[in-house]
Structure 1
Amino acid sequence: MTGMVAEPRPVSVRPPVPRPLPVTVSGSSVHLPATVVTNDELTRTLDTSAEWILSRTGIRERRRLAPDLAVSDMCVAAAPAALAEAGISPGELDAVIVASYTYDQPLPSTALMVKERIGAHRALPIDITQAACANGLQAILLAAHLLQVSARAVLVIAADCASRVTDPRNRTTGVFFGDAAGAIVLTRTDTPDAGILAWDFGSQLSHSVEIRAGGSRLPTSEQTVADREHYLRMDGRAVWDTATSCLPQSIRAAVGRAGLAVTDIDHFFLHQANLNILIAAMAELEVPMWRAPVTLDMLGNTGSAGVVTALHQARSENLINAGDTFLLSAIGAGFQWGTLCFRQA
Structure 2
Amino acid sequence: MTVALDRAVAPSHQTGAGLSVPFAIAGTGMHLPPTVVTNEDLTRTLDTSDAWITSRTGIRERRMLAPDLATSDMCLAAARPALEAAGVDPAGLDAVVVASYTGDQPLVSTALIVKDALGAHRALSLDVTQAACASGIQAMLIAAHLLQNPSIGTILLLAADCASRITDPADRTTRVFFGDAAAAVVLTRSHTPGAGLLSYDLGSQLSYDVQIPAGGSKLPASAATVAAGDHYLSMDGRAVWKAATTRLPESIARAAERAGVPLHEVRHFFLHQANLNILTETLATLGIPRQRATVTIDRLGNTGSAGLFTALHTAVAEGSLLPGDTYVLAGIGAGFQWGSLCLRHA
Report the TM range for the smaller structure's normalisation. Answer: over 0.9
Number of positions where the alignment pairs a residue of Structure 1 with one of Structure 2: 331
Cα gap change, 1:92 to 1:337, in 2 (>3 Å): same
Alpha-carbon shift at residue 264 of structure 1 (Å): 1.1
Query: TM-score, with normalisation over the residues of structure 1?
Result: 0.95
Note if contact 1:20-1:198 (Cα within 8 Å) is conserved in structure 2.
Answer: no
Counterpart of 1:143 in structure 2 is 143
Counterpart of 2:94 in structure 1 is 94
- Mark the structure with the bigger radius of gyration: 1
Specify the code of the residue in structure 1 equivalent to 2:51.
E
Counterpart of 2:30 in structure 1 is 30
Alpha-carbon shift at residue 87 of structure 1 (Å): 1.1
Specify the code of the residue in structure 2 equivalent to 1:93.
L
Alpha-carbon shift at residue 17 of structure 1 (Å): 4.2
Runs of 5+ consecutive residues of structure 1 not aligned to the other structure: 1-14
Q: 2-side partners of 1:30 and 1:46: how far apart?
A: 29
- SS of residue matched to 1:82: helix
Counterpart of 1:320 in structure 2 is 321
- SS of residue matched to 1:220: coil
Cα gap change, 1:157 to 1:286, in 2 (>3 Å): same
Q: 2-side partners of 1:281 and 1:212: how far apart?
A: 29
**Within-5 A mapping of 1:65-80:** 65-80=65-80
Note if contact 2:212-2:234 (Cα within 8 Å) is conserved in structure 1.
Answer: yes
Counterpart of 1:302 in structure 2 is 303
Counterpart of 1:164 in structure 2 is 165
Q: 2-side partners of 1:58 and 1:287: how far apart?
A: 19
Q: 2-side partners of 1:287 and 1:224: how far apart?
A: 45
Deviations 1:197-217 (A, max 9, x none): 111111110000000000000
Q: Which runs of 4+ in 1 moved over 3 A?
A: 15-21
Counterpart of 2:155 in structure 1 is 154
Q: Between the two proteins, what is the percent identity of the paired residues? A: 63
Counterpart of 1:115 in structure 2 is 115
Counterpart of 2:63 in structure 1 is 63
Q: 1-side partners of 2:79 and 2:217: how far apart?
A: 33
Counterpart of 1:343 in structure 2 is 344
Note if contact 1:31-1:77 (Cα within 8 Å) is conserved in structure 2.
Answer: yes
Alpha-carbon shift at residue 20 of structure 1 (Å): 5.7
Specify the code of the residue in structure 1 equivalent to 2:134.
A
Runs of 5+ consecutive residues of structure 2 not aligned to the other structure: 1-14
Deviations 1:77-117 (A, max 9, x none): 11111011111100000000110000000111111000000
Cα gap change, 1:240 to 1:92, in 2 (>3 Å): same
Query: TM-score, with normalisation over the residues of structure 2?
Result: 0.94
**Within-5 A mapping of 1:166-245:** 166-245=167-246
Specify the code of the residue in structure 2 equivalent to 1:160.
D
Cα gap change, 1:218 to 1:258, in 2 (>3 Å): same
Alpha-carbon shift at residue 132 of structure 1 (Å): 0.2
Deviations 1:282-323 (A, max 9, x none): 000001100001000000000010000000000000001111
Segment drifting more, 211-220 vs 190-199: 190-199
Note if contact 1:46-1:170 (Cα within 8 Å) is conserved in structure 2.
Answer: yes
Note if contact 2:272-2:330 (Cα within 8 Å) is conserved in structure 1.
Answer: yes
Note if contact 1:17-1:259 (Cα within 8 Å) is conserved in structure 2.
Answer: no
Q: 2-side partners of 1:156 and 1:111: how far apart?
A: 10
- SS of residue matched to 1:176: coil
Specify the code of the residue in structure 2 equivalent to 1:249.
E
- SS of residue matched to 1:125: strand
